[in-house]
């Protein structure tokens, strides 16, 4: 794979009280190259806090508090100027930051992007863009989900406690499904199953989840509502990996691209769960499901926006966040 161009590195130190003891602080990898199909506009840059803070700003603030030592963004190249002006400048002096680009033609040697393809290659392709800048345990998140502080502390502790040189021992934060719903419609969530050791065995994507008569339910293949416990773990795309994950991903991406079906289907995507499921099913890796009390919120629908603004304001009023983050 070619060397991805790194264009920003604020090597300033930010002295904060570290919440986890680690010789190697984990890195936070934010996937910020998505378009945001359900909610118009560049929702990654939508200011929702009192001083125009984005959801990402709150994630980064929480990550720094939880002992993360570096931030890496994956963005689109055409997004760069806006991103630098509105986002990157505010972190200078607080935490080291790196920037990588996801593009359609960022493919392994010997592969070419179909001429008609416009859709990015998916979340795990975005993760691969950071392989040359991340050499330590890292957490992957979406940039437009509000994960809340406990989630960062839980995954930060897992990553910090890994023995040096650890391989194939990964984690995901399993949010309690009842803490991840929208008041404005159904949500899609990956419902997780785990074994008696607390390791992930499967993630089943359920595209319609909501409260029905007080119970959390998903719609099954027959169109019937099936009730689940409120604290059933679901994946909100918050994963903990070590750098060997890049090796697995690189090899499997070549397999993915070598399948003619994936080249012909202009919407085929190389998702993180696709890679994770393969590693679990082949007994290559384990993925610990970590519980969190965090309540997720995000802007799935335009109508969610005001409620997110209100929730952020109430967290500020409670003293969880300062009025101005950076």
Containing 113, the helix (H) or strand (E) segment is: none
Query: Which of the residues in the chain have pLDDT under 70?
Result: 1-23, 34-45
pLDDT digits (tens, 9 = 90+) for 65-88: 999 999 999 988 887 887 787 778
Q: Can you tell me the distance from the alpha carbon of 209 to that of 199, in angstroms, rounded to the nearest whole number? A: 24
> What is the pLDDT at residue 42?
57
**Dihedral (CA of 181, 182, 183, 186) sign:** negative
pLDDT of residue 45: 64
Query: What letter would DSSP give residue 192?
Result: E
- Spell out the domains of the chain, with CATH numbers in brackets: 27-174+234-317 (3.90.550.10)
Residue-level pLDDT at 43: 53
pLDDT at res. 38: 43
pLDDT at res. 299: 80
pTM for the complete prediction?
0.86
What is residue 256's predicted lDDT score, i.e. its pLDDT?
A: 95
């Amino acid at each position: 794979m070619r060397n991805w161009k790194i264009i920003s590195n604020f090597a300033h130190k930010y002295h904060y009280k570290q919440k986890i003891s680690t010789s190697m602080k984990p890195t936070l990898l934010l996937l910020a190259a998505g378009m945001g199909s359900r909610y118009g506009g560049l929702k990654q840059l939508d200011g929702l806090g009192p001083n125009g803070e984005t959801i990402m700003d709150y994630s980064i603030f929480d990550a720094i508090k939880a002992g993360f030592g570096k931030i890496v963004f994956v963005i689109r190249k055409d997004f760069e100027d806006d991103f630098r002006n509105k986002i990157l400048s505010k972190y200078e002096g607080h935490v080291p930051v790196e920037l990588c680009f996801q593009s359609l033609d960022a493919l392994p040697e010997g592969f070419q992007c179909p001429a008609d393809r416009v859709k990015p290659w998916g979340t795990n392709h975005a993760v691969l863009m950071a392989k040359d800048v991340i050499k330590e345990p890292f957490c992957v998140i979406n940039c437009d989900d509000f994960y809340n502080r406990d989630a960062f502390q839980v995954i930060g502790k897992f990553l910090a406690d890994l023995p040096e040189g650890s391989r194939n021992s990964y984690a995901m934060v399993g949010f309690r499904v009842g803490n991840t719903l929208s008041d404005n419609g159904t949500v899609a969530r990956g419902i997780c199953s785990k074994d008696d050791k607390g390791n992930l065995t499967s993630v089943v994507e359920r595209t319609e989840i909501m409260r029905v008569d007080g119970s959390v339910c998903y719609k099954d293949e027959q169109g019937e509502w099936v009730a689940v416990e409120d604290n059933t773990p679901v994946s909100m795309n918050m994963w903990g990996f070590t750098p060997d994950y890049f090796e697995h991903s690189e090899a499997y991406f070549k397999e993915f691209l070598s399948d003619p079906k994936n080249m012909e289907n202009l919407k085929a995507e190389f998702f993180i769960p696709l890679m994770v499921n393969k590693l679990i099913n082949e007994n290559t890796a384990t993925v610990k499901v970590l519980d969190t009390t965090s309540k997720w919120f995000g802007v799935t629908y335009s109508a969610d926006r005001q409620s997110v603004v209100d929730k952020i304001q109430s967290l500020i009023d409670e003293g969880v966040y300062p009025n101005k983050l950076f």
